[in-house]
Chains A and B, each alone.
Chain A
Amino acid sequence: MGGSSAVVATTGPRRSPLTTVAWILPGTIWLLLFLIAPLVMIILVSLWERTPVGFAAFSFSLDAYGRIFETSVFLDTLKNTIFRSLLVTALCILIGYPIAFYLARCVKTIKFQIALFIVVLAPFWVAYVVRIIAWLPVLGRQGVINYFLVEVLGVVDEPISALFYSTFAITLALVQLYVLFMVTPIFFQLATLDEAAIEAARDLGATPGKVFREVIFPLSLPGVLIGCIFVFVLVMGEFATVRIIGGGTIQSVGTLVNDYYTIPDLPAAAAAATMLVAVMTVGVAILLRFSKIREVV
């Protein structure tokens, strides 16, 4: 009976519930296997006891959380990571919005739009680690900037160390790595704005500034929000950039998880990861709550 209705459904214009299930199934299985299951596993491991060779499954204890909160290292690092993520997200909006605006509203032909968008994407054709390491010849003690400051301009006597292996360098590199995740959703939002609303505002005598403030910007907010979610979540979980650009002297929750993992203290690594996921979930929930994204979209 179910079989015959499915056959009818695939040939007919309306889908039966069975076909709907068939469409939903692959995605659901995917999410269950690669999102929910690992998450459940991480939470479970964080609650198991540590042994020299990993963990003792199903012997529950909260010791791992006790260990990560035993000193102030984890909490301080978590605070720093949240601050860094918010800072990078804000910088990505400041830099990414004008780029997206220019691409979507100022470039007139679609051909140029696509060409310039590909240019914006260009850094992503280079391997992740290469993009990170490439900052050394720019910001290093013997890098281009220090060369100009010391040799050409003579404004400082000694090369400035704080340009690299520093919080500054990490922030800069993260903005460069992730600004595209801000540009892209804003670009698509701006490119698909309801032109009639803008026309109407102009007809009613609004100045270009006012059109932007009262029509374009509010309508582009869903794109900004999606960008914020991308950048915030990606930076919260970062460890390779922090490790390499920080020269090992600066930590993020990601590098701490990696440290716990290599000690090896797998339950502590899982506990730190669980805390990270919890904070990210709360962060995203706050973003969604305050923006009322569903109403705008």
Chain B
Amino acid sequence: MSSSESDNMRRMNRRQFVRNAGLAGVGLTAMGALAACGGSDSGSTSSAAAETAAATEAEATTAAAEVAAYQGTLKVVGLGVDLIDPIKAAFEKATPGVTLEFTVKSTPECTQIALTQPDSFDIFSGYYQQTDQVWPSGNLMAIPTSAMTRYAEISPLITTGSLIEGGGSPGQGDAAFRKLYATSGTEISETATDFLTCIPGNNNADAFGYNVDELGEQDSWAILVDPQLKGKVALIDDPTIGLMDAAMAVEANGDMTFVDKGDMTKAEIDELMSILISLKKAGQFRGFWATFDESVNFMSSGEVLVESMWSPAVSLLQAQDFPVRYAAPKEGFRGWGGGNSIAAHVEKDPSKLAACLAYANWWNTAEPAGIMAAQGYYNAVFAASSEGFEMLFPDDSANYIGYYLEGAPAAGVLNDPFGQPSIKKGDTRDGGGYEARCGNFNTWNSYMAEADYVSQKWQEFKSA
């Protein structure tokens, strides 16, 4: 009783923090610095911008009261796995007067909207592999690190690529730490600066999902190209993700090697595609899915036995007692991560900017972090994941933290965030805990320098 009461208190405090500190103070601090950084690439160095940021920070406290709390709608564009009803409800409850309008699209569609309709949204719920394509457009704004409430607490995985100093494999491609920082509104930095491309939210170590009843335990990406599974394999219809899975499969199968899967050469793309096209012609691939629901249907209808999959899709099927497992490939995971970026046009409206920052920062708090963590995601502010479990499952949080974050066997049945049982007693998470899974990346979702060529080849592959 008292523990849940104190939990509620903490929730209230955090919400008040979001409302007060977040809405006004943080937003205003950001404003000054952003004015210096802006969308311009006229050589505004990070140190100059940082000075401005520091100066404005002092003003912010006194001027905080001057920014009227934003009342109205914030338009968010992103994926269906992130922009779910419980998230909308939780934020709106925590932030009276602000309504969220979610536009749910596939990853390539989100990129397309960010590029060609920059005024149609306020917040871009994006992923690091989209940064190379979207950032140079100047349609999103650089966010000062000082505007991120829990910046000091971000996992080193996100800021430097390794959880332990010098340890683990950060993986090839668009890893979080390579796409998190910006030097201006149009340029990305692979090393830390005072500006962020987004306020980092979730990340995970992804693999393939498979029907364990039919296939037994599996631990190699090579299964995606196993001719014995002809017609029972699906990939995601997005080359920044699906091509990575295919490349790891072909490499694991010993068919070819890559210098850098995150940035393939034309010759590598040609070789990989010719392998994939002959596999497709032989009937290897049952389908290419574009939406989360399609991936769930592919697996649950028995049309495929193994496919590119996302963690919430696996957890949804497990909650329905479907025998799906999320592999821990010996070749390493495919990493991904993302966060909330803010549209450049918002910069002109200080109160809306403050609200956008409050929304982006809210993602690093207990409730949203918990909702996502119970589907297998990790929060960039790692502590927020545990806080989320403590808040959502106050009586059993140690069990959730043990299973999802530490790699311990589940001491009892675990529910998904929507109240359905999803993990059975005694189950251990494939790949183990946070450090084991996020210390073993093969490659990350990636947008390559040869992206146009990849798109062309991907079309050829789908039409073959």
B108, A262: Cβ atoms closer than 8 Å? yes
Contact A165 to B287, CB < 8 A, known contacts A73-B459, A262-B109: yes
Check: B280 CB closer than 8 A to any chain A CB. yes
Interface string of B232-271 (1 = CB under 8 A from A): 0010010000000000000000000000000000000000
Among A3-25, those with CB < 8 Å from B are none
Query: Does any Cβ of B come within 8 Å of A230's Cβ?
Result: no
B303 touches A52 (CB 8 A): no
**In the complex the two chains form, what is the Cα distance from A113 to B459 in whole Å?**
48
Do A264 and B112 contact each other (CB < 8 Å), given the known contacts A243-B290, A249-B287? yes
A77 to B462 Cα, complex, angstroms: 11
Q: Does B288 contact A (CB under 8 A)?
A: yes
The number of chain A residues touching the other chain, given as a range, is 20 to 34
Q: Is A109 an interface residue (CB 8 A)?
A: no
Residues 405 to 464 of chain B near chain A (Cβ within 8 Å):
452, 455-456, 459-460, 462-463
Query: For the complex, what is the distance from the CA of A296 to the CA of B287, rounded to whole Å?
Result: 47
Report whether B108 and A73 are in contact in the complex, using a CB–CB cutoff of 8 Å. no
From 280 to 311 in chain B, residues with beta carbon under 8 angstroms from any chain A beta carbon are: 280, 283, 285-290, 294, 297-298, 301-303
Q: Give chain A interface residues in 140-172, CB to chain B under 8 Å.
A: 140-142, 161, 164-165
**Quick one: given A52-B115, A53-B116, are A165 and B303 in contact (CB under 8 Å)?**
yes
**How many residue-residue contacts, CB under 8 A, span A and B?**
82
| Contact A165 to B286, CB < 8 A, known contacts A249-B280, A251-B462, A264-B112 | yes
CA distance A54 to B452 in the complex (A): 14
B169 at the interface (CB under 8 A from A): no
**Residues 249-295 of A at the B interface (beta carbon under 8 Å):** 249, 251, 256, 259, 261-266
**Residue of A52, A161, A247 contacting most chain B CB atoms (<10 Å):** A247
Interface set, chain A 87-136, CB cutoff 8 A to B: 136
Evaluate contact between B302 and A247: CB separation under 8 angstroms: no
Give a binary string over A62-79; 1 marks a CB under 8 Å from any B CB, 0 the rest.
000000001101001100
**Which chain B residues border A136 with CB–CB below 8 Å?**
297, 301
With A54-B115, A141-B303, A264-B115 known as contacts, the answer to whether A73 contacts B287 (CB < 8 A) is no
A208 at the interface (CB under 8 A from B): no
Q: Does A38 contact B (CB under 8 A)?
A: no
Structural contact, B290 and A249, CB atoms closer than 8 A? no
B351 proximity list for chain A (CB < 8 A):
none
Tell me whether B455 and A263 are in contact (CB under 8 A). Answer: yes
Give CA–CA (A262, B133) in the complex, Å: 12
Q: Are B303 and A248 in contact (CB under 8 A)?
A: no
Q: In the assembled complex, which residues on chain A have CB atoms less than 8 Å from the CB atom of B303?
A: 140-141, 164-165, 247
The residue that A161 contacts in the complex, of B231, B280, B452, with Cβ under 8 A, is B231
Lowest 9 A-B CB distances belong to which pairs? A247-B287, A248-B288, A262-B108, A264-B112, A142-B302, A54-B116, A251-B463, A53-B115, A262-B112
5 contacts between A and B (CB under 8 A): A52-B115, A53-B118, A248-B462, A262-B111, A263-B455
Given A165-B286, A249-B286, A262-B108, 13 extra CB contacts under 8 A: A52-B115, A52-B137, A53-B137, A140-B302, A165-B287, A247-B303, A248-B237, A249-B462, A251-B459, A256-B459, A262-B112, A263-B455, A264-B112
